[in-house]
Amino acid sequence: MNQKKEWRPLPKSITIKESKIEGLGVFATQDIQENTDLGISHVYDERFPDNYIRLPLGAFINHHEMPNCKAIIYEFHESIGAIKHIRIVAVKDISSGEELTLNYIINKLDNPLWEFEYEVTQ
């Protein structure tokens, strides 16, 4: 028998609110341990600009030169199967109330393949 799963746009451990960095940001609502997988930020689909559909996590996480998270490109994940996507993972312990950040340089190149820019900057 299939178990019904509740879908949430963000895990319970994070929320979106006003950021001192830029506009809105992603913040921890509880302590997050290093190496915690915070979920999917982008799903590959060549029909969209930059070939990705941006999810709430990807839309609101801000840049920082000393980030507390990194973006990892996956071709497969046990939770969704063989779907290319980007997941966000904590690179250090994050305290409740702290903003989650990535070091990224999206769309800085003449012909951006920003999934690789994410990879290179992490």
Give the containing element (helix H, strand E) for 14: strand 14-18
pTM exceeds cut of 0.85:
no
Residue with tokens 């830029």: 22
Taking all residues of the chain, what is their mean pLDDT, rounded to a whole number?
A: 83
**Domains defined along the chain, listed by start:** 14-121 (2.170.270.10)
Closest CA to 103 of 93, 88, 113: 88
The count of C-alpha atoms lying within 13 angstroms of the C-alpha of 79, restricted to the half-sphere facing its C-beta, is 10
Would you place residue 1 in the very low, low, confident or very high pLDDT band (cuts 50, 70, 90)?
A: very low
